[in-house]
A and B are shown apart, each in its own frame.
Chain A
């Protein structure tokens, strides 16, 4: 059967009525309805998530109002409870920033490696490596870090903090040698978000028009200069989108953070200080909560939900923009 490539896209032609039994028209209609219902299930679930969680969290918003996100006074079991979640929001952001700072350069380099630099024999092993990194569950990362990383990291932090002693900004950033702190959690989360940033960035880089790359090379650019101008330049929006997806994933990371962050709500620039994060405090304290305390924890979930949805929407917008800029060139 010859392919008619020049035919413009048209909906599949319906079969002539005489070849269709009445029963199958009913089957078709019901099939269409069923599949549409299944498709809308996603929308339904998202709406239900929003409705149920906001409803459950409503008491705390009524009691605390805006102070829920602006106050750092978190005392849910006191006789006059207060629900200021600022420390948890800070913790989530701090860990995400640390994770991004570590993961983004590594992921970009990995993506460049896979699209430009890798000799053919190394491509597949590195792809498997990234798959493996993505497959390992968060709880195993946490278990390993607790068992294998605490002592070495504690020594490392000790050396760093004594090394930067006296240097104006750095000595506020790196004090002490606590092994369960923002930095450890951030490092492990970086490992976990690297695969998603790498794979999306790789997709973006792979769609850079070959003509662009060849043009740069033809003008005498070195490979690095070609990558810098054509790929990184052209794919900038896409990279931003990938980074934002990584950010969203980092913010939602729960278990490894719960094990490694130290469970002390704190707002400090010291990265070697224990802290607490939104998702972790939910999983740690949900069982013992009741009443407004539970509402507060669900409220944290609502905040997390809203933030990650916004980040995801923005990320998709960036990726779509880059696809539009590059794709049809």
Chain B
């Protein structure tokens, strides 16, 4: 009995048996987490300014993370260019998820990203209060917006006139064997299948460029003003160009508007679009380049290549830009940004664009864009 008491007393007199063990584990874990929080990968190299021109030498950049977001239209290009750039500059991370033009510019406004990808001027996006004089538009690439569709039983590539497209997406034409589609495609047997129009559920520059084209080419049938928000609720919707491509892929009878790179990578069938003269133009990078070359470029480097009245120009060509604040606040990110943009204007134009499914900028526009790089103020 006495031994019991002594044992118990001695047990309680000792420092608590279990507490230190889990406390120790917790302390080690906390230390590990704190150590991770305090560590930062930094290089002590002196930053250099890069004013454009071919990036033939790997200039040492201070390590930085560039966060961007925006247009999914240029996302495939941006993500590839980012990956190439990162392989040349270790210590630089570039994240560009491509959640849509509206999200990107809104994030830029909220201060959550360093650069935004957009297919439309920021003043055309509702809710954006950024002063346009404080930002710079850097055009990146040009590409066609394809009219992708999923129609089994028709092997020939279909042609679509602007009026037919307007009617399909406005809901006036509801079946694939409609006479209007047949008129655009003489000699093709069209199946009796319901059309499922697919549009973007998120705020999208691609939507805005597509609706801009529709309102130019058929204002009678397409009465809604061009906007990043698709104006009706027909068919089905998906987020981002990639989402629309997935939806078209998995829905029989679907038709939607998808950027060229995504459509070709996804293996979608896309049609030819009849131009102002009634001639069917295939969605090609050459056609997009022709349309872009014919467009008038504004002083801030915005331009509109849709419905170009020039031979062989693809009618639904879309522009796209990277938007940054003119005055950068951080030297590391500012330098990285400048270097990335220079990379886009050198290797990006010569190699990455074509490889990913985009047309490079025309010579004149490219020169103006490179010159604008010096307007970027880095502390």
Contacts and interface: CB of A to CB of B under 8 A. Distances in A.
Direct contact of A and B (CB under 8 A): yes
A262 B196 CA distance: 12
Interface residues of A, number: 27
Interface string B105-123: 0110110000000000000
B227 A77 contact: yes
Given A77-B126, A78-B126, A154-B252, A284 B239 contact: yes
Interface string B199-230: 00111000000000000000000000001110
Chain B interface residue bracket vs A:
20 to 34
Given A284-B202, A287-B106, A288-B202, A263 B239 contact: yes
B250 A263 contact: no
A287 B126 contact: no
Interface stretch (B95-103, B272-280, B338-346, B351-359): B95-103
Contact of A265 (B69, B106, B126, B233): B233
Contacts of B234: 264
B132 interface: no
A290 B127 contact: yes
Contact of A178 (B103, B109, B246, B251): B251
Given A77-B229, A150-B250, A151-B250, A288 B236 contact: no
A179 B250 contact: yes
Contacts, number: 71
A106 B118 CA distance: 49
Interface in B241-262: 246-247, 250-252
A180 interface: yes
A115 interface: no
Contacts of A174: none
A53 interface: no
A290 B227 contact: no
A274 B198 CA distance: 12
Nearest to A176: B194
Interface in B166-224: 194, 196, 201-203
A285 interface: yes
A288 B126 contact: no
Given A77-B126, A288-B102, A289-B127, A179 B202 contact: no
Considering residues A79, A146, A264, A287, which has the most beta carbons from chain B within 10 angstroms of its beta carbon? A287
Contact of B106 (A154, A262, A266, A288): A288
Interface in B77-106: 99-100, 102-103, 106
Contact of B233 (A264, A290, A291): A264
> Considering the complex of A and B, which 3 residue pairs feature the smallest CB-CB distances, nearest first?
A263-B201, A290-B127, A288-B102
Given A79-B126, A290-B109, 6 more contacts: A154-B251, A263-B201, A264-B234, A284-B202, A284-B239, A291-B127
Interface of A: 75, 77-79, 81, 146, 150-151, 154, 176, 178-180, 262-266, 274, 284-285, 287-291, 293
6 contacts: A154-B251, A284-B201, A285-B202, A287-B107, A288-B103, A289-B106
Interface of B: 69, 99-100, 102-103, 106-107, 109-110, 126-128, 194, 196, 201-203, 227-229, 233-239, 246-247, 250-252
